[in-house]
Amino acid sequence: MIKKIFIVIFLLAGFFLSADPLRDAVENSDRTAKNVSRDVYRNPYETISFFKIEPDMKVIELSPGGGWYTEILANYLNDSGLLIAAHFNPKIENNYLKRSRANYELMLSNNEAFNKVKLVDLDSTLAPASSVDAVLTFRNLHNWLGPTMDEIFTNSFNALKPGGLFGVVEHRAKPKTSFNKMKKTGYVTEAYAIQAAEKTGFILVDKSDINSNFKDTTDHPKGVWTLPPSLRLKDLDKSKYLEIGESDRMTLLFMKPENS
């Protein structure tokens, strides 16, 4: 009898040691099949691991769009952490962006799994000063080029605790691509992204090729939106762009200095 008890304890210990809450979050049943199909390009498990996100952290997701990463992060942070989603201001004049915010709110309200997600405006201070552990942004920098990026980066920096992490995934332009071309194509150079972050006060901690795609030449007729999932050219050369897959992306990790 005692031997059986020890065996049970051993097996339970092995189970808890092998538990992987991030893997569970990536594979959670609340994710839509359409979003799961993009994992092969977006590598969520590897990306969140690289950003050193732990389930008890308070995390801001900047401009979460339709909620691709929200489906994962809300699950991962649900028990002991907090996800703050910084979406477009509902009073914004742009109707497309206003609809994007409304659709995101509808997504949150239609699923109990998102009950703990805190929604704030992207153009706000995001959170009280020095109150969050990490800020993440996925494929958004091209929308913020110029003063908007400076403002969002500054608010992110201020919201982070000293030593807090700032994770960036963005479509990667070829080195020395002009500012105007970045705005037109949706691809941003690593140099521009790093310079903008360092100007704010962040320190570059690491970079990764997790989300690289060396099939992507970055010179498409409709910029990054030529590639999936947008496929702006519709059926024209569709097989060609499906073969390339999603864009080549930089994955950068910054930190707010401990003495800030």
CA dihedral 106, 111, 113, 116 (to 10 degrees): 40
Kind of pairing between the strands at 118-121 and 82-87: parallel
Integer Cα distance of 32 and 36 in angstroms: 6
The residue assigned the tokens 């910084």 is 86
Query: Per-residue DSSP letters for 156-195?
Result: HHHHEEEEEEEEEEEEBPPTT--HHHHHHHS-B-HHHHHH
pLDDT per position as a tens digit, 73-105: 999 999 999 999 999 999 999 999 999 999 999
Integer Cα distance of 25 and 74 in angstroms: 8
Phi-psi region of 207 (alpha: psi -120 to 50; beta: other; left: phi over 0): beta
Candidate CATH numbers 1.10.10.10, 3.40.50.150, 3.20.20.370, 3.40.309.10; the one for domain 21-216+250-255:
3.40.50.150
Strands, E, within the chain: which ranges? 58-62, 82-87, 118-121, 132-138, 160-171, 203-208, 249-255
Q: Find, among 143, 138, 144, the residue nearest to 210 by Cα.
A: 138
pLDDT per position as a tens digit, 131-174: 999 999 999 999 999 999 999 999 999 999 999 999 999 999 99
How many CB atoms neighbour CB 230 within 10 A?
A: 15
Residue 3: the pLDDT is 52
At residue 260 the predicted structure's pLDDT band, cuts being 50, 70 and 90, is confident
Rounded to two decimals, what is the model's pTM? 0.92
Residue 1: the pLDDT is 56
Residue 8: the pLDDT is 45
CB 77 within 8 A of CB 83: yes
Residue 220: the pLDDT is 98
**For 235-249, what is the mean pLDDT?**
98
Q: Domain ranges for the chain, please list them.
A: 21-216+250-255
The residue assigned the tokens 């702006």 is 232
